[in-house]
Amino acid sequence: MKKSKTCLILIFILFVSSLNIVGCNNERSLNSMNTSSHTITDMAGREVTV
């Protein structure tokens, strides 16, 4: 149980960091791909955390 929890945390950290990297380079495709994610791009092009 402990091992899988640590693994999930690591995956989550990697996911968030990859979102940040992709968000810097390619906000529009990130927005269209991950509309259900925590970080979206609003109409003005700013990143908004939901």
Q: Which residue has the higher pLDDT, 14 or 48?
A: 14
Please, which residues have CB within 8 angstroms of residue 23's CB and are 6 or more apart in sequence? 30, 39, 41, 47
pTM of the model: 0.37
pLDDT at 43 over 60: yes
Domain with 10, as residue range(s), is 2-49
For the chain, what is the domain count? 1
User: Contact 37/29 with Cβ under 8 angstroms?
Assistant: no
